[in-house]
Amino acid sequence: MSDSKEMNKIPMILTAFATVFATVMVLYFYGYLNFSREEQGMVVAEFSLIKVGSAEAGQMRSRAADQVAECVDGILILHDSRHNGLSGLLIDDRQRVVRCSAQSVPVAE
């Protein structure tokens, strides 16, 4: 017979669970984890398409919008200047991503 003492494993298991829980809570507190559901999504602005050369194009306001668009890896990303750090993908009404090309706009001669 061996005289080795058997270790109690329950404190080790509880310590492991507590460590994982504390790590998740610290990451959530500092903003590295965000838990959001689809119904919690925020609509910042709605957009519409105006055909170039139409009568509606002459009725636009001179003040620019609060959003700035950027083409990243072929996908249109919008940054909102009113909400610091808020950015997202531009999608259509069917939840499809709006693609873009990084080409420059041709100049009319």
Q: Tokens 């693609």, residue?
A: 99
pLDDT tens by residue, 38-78 = 665 666 666 666 666 666 556 666 677 777 888 888 888 88
Enter the pTM of the model: 0.44
84 pLDDT more than 80: no
Rounded to an integer, what distance in angstroms lies between the CA atom of residue 25 and that of residue 70?
Answer: 33
